[in-house]
């Protein structure tokens, strides 16, 4: 495990201490949990952005987000990202 040292301003340090007390965990565990949650959200955001921009496939987007395909589909729906090209589907059904 790698250790990272971070200087926090007083407000952020106070929020971290309150979170740790509320969750009944040590401050370092609280910081690790919050960082893990924030990075997971960042991965999901990045995957949705890249998928919506057409940079990655649906399957790759799910991998980037570290979600199973069903959960990634739900995430796209929650974020109002159209992931089925209805014109393409219609053309394939007609063809």
On whether residue 84 sits in a domain, the answer given is yes
On whether residue 60 sits in a domain, the answer given is yes
Total domain count for the chain?
A: 1
Q: What percent of the chain has pLDDT over 90?
A: 77
On whether residue 88 sits in a domain, the answer given is yes
> Average pLDDT, whole number, for the chain?
91
Average pLDDT of the residues in 18-40:
97
Domain extent, residue 56, equals 10-94
**Each residue of 53-90: pLDDT tens digit?**
989 989 999 999 999 999 999 999 999 998 776 665 56
Query: Cα–Cα distances in Å, from 29 out to 8, 12, 19, 32?
Result: 16, 15, 10, 5
């Amino acid at each position: 495990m790698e250790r990272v040292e971070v200087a926090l301003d007083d407000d952020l340090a106070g929020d971290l201490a309150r979170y740790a007390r509320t969750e009944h965990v040590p401050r370092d565990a609280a910081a690790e949990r919050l960082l893990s949650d924030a990075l997971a959200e960042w991965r999901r955001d990045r995957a949705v952005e890249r998928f919506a921009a057409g940079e990655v496939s649906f399957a790759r987007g799910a991998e980037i987000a570290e979600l199973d395909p069903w959960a990634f589909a739900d995430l796209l729906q929650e974020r109002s990202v159209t992931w089925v090209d209805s014109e393409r589907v219609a053309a394939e059904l007609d063809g």
